[in-house]
Structure 1
């Protein structure tokens, strides 16, 4: 198991697969945001930018800005499920900027979109954890090979982070299984 200051191997193919996975996870809950704020395109723009990178596009400042814009949209959402849906979109675009550093924090970059999507589903269903479990099951079944491969080079997900942190740790454990 690597220690915190170590670097890990991370190739462009893996980075694109992880980003595409994050975009797929976030896209599952975009409607939760769009029902709440239909005129705000920032989360959808972030997911589309992540998909473009995953399909071979360049990792640009505009991609990074789309992640920040979706994050800002989350802060402006009055509905908690919509806020987590926007955070999922933000994590999708930010996944393209995963660092080749053996830090537990990087696990959040890989699994953040899936975890926030699951939390958005829970909140939309009246804080029903079964709804989140279904989303996590989907995320586990649809993770490309790069996700568990890169997770295996990193320390386990960090403690803390409230409910989203719990979801990240559960998914991390399942994918390393």
Structure 2
């Protein structure tokens, strides 16, 4: 598994939280009383700001966001994916590669929310995501998080290898 510096891990967590925060309204409009995904983003940002790592808090926030996603699943894919983006973002404090999961689910949320032009929406969001990263992390992101158009529609994936 690839090792990242503490600084890169914090940058990746900040980036993943930003990706999740951009799609958070898709969840909150559908589930205004459920603050679990927002809380996950807050826990992520707190770790970045303070450097204080509490595994129970990080893991709990991530699992809670993913539980919120399960409540949205089937009724609203965009809301489900937005909650998952938050769960992945906070997990970056534990494993840096989760940042790519935050990006991935944010892209899926944007695509699911735009039924008319999901590929355009996801591609535009991916470009925004790339612009938020330093050049060295940007190149890795562009190689890992891929949007493809297939006969059946848009396909978003995270490429994994021995470094993942």
Kindly tell me the number of residue pairs found equivalent between the two proteins.
148
* TM-score between the two structures when normalised by the length of structure 2: 0.80
Deviations 1:76-134 (A, max 9, x none): 102100000001001100111116xxxxxx4xx23111111111111111161110111
Structure 2 stretches lacking a partner, 5+ long: 147-153
Corresponding position of 1:79: 76
* 1:146 Cα deviation after fit: 6.3
Q: How far apart in 2 are the matches of 1:46 and 1:142?
A: 20
Matched, 1:69 2:61: no
RMSD (Å) for aligned C-alpha atoms: 2.5
Corresponding position of 1:51: 45
Bigger relative contact order, structure 1 or 2, given CA contacts below 8 A and separation 6+? 1
Q: How far apart in 1 are the matches of 2:145 and 2:128?
A: 22
Q: How far apart in 2 are the matches of 1:113 and 1:44?
A: 13
Q: How far apart in 2 are the matches of 1:123 and 1:31?
A: 13
Matched, 1:163 2:160: no
1:163 aligns to what SS in structure 2?
A: strand
Corresponding position of 2:123: 133
Corresponding position of 1:16: 10
Check 1:33–1:44 CA distance in 2 against 1; reply closer, same or farther (3 A cut).
same
Give 1 or 2: higher strand fraction.
Answer: 2
Corresponding position of 1:35: 29
Moved more, 47-56 or 132-141: 47-56
Q: How far apart in 2 are the matches of 1:66 and 1:146?
A: 29
Structure 1 stretches lacking a partner, 5+ long: 1-6, 100-105, 173-177
Deviations 1:13-38 (A, max 9, x none): 12111111100110000000000000
Corresponding position of 2:101: 112
Deviations 1:2-56 (A, max 9, x none): xxxxx54422212111111100110000000000000000000001111111123
1:123 aligns to what SS in structure 2?
A: helix
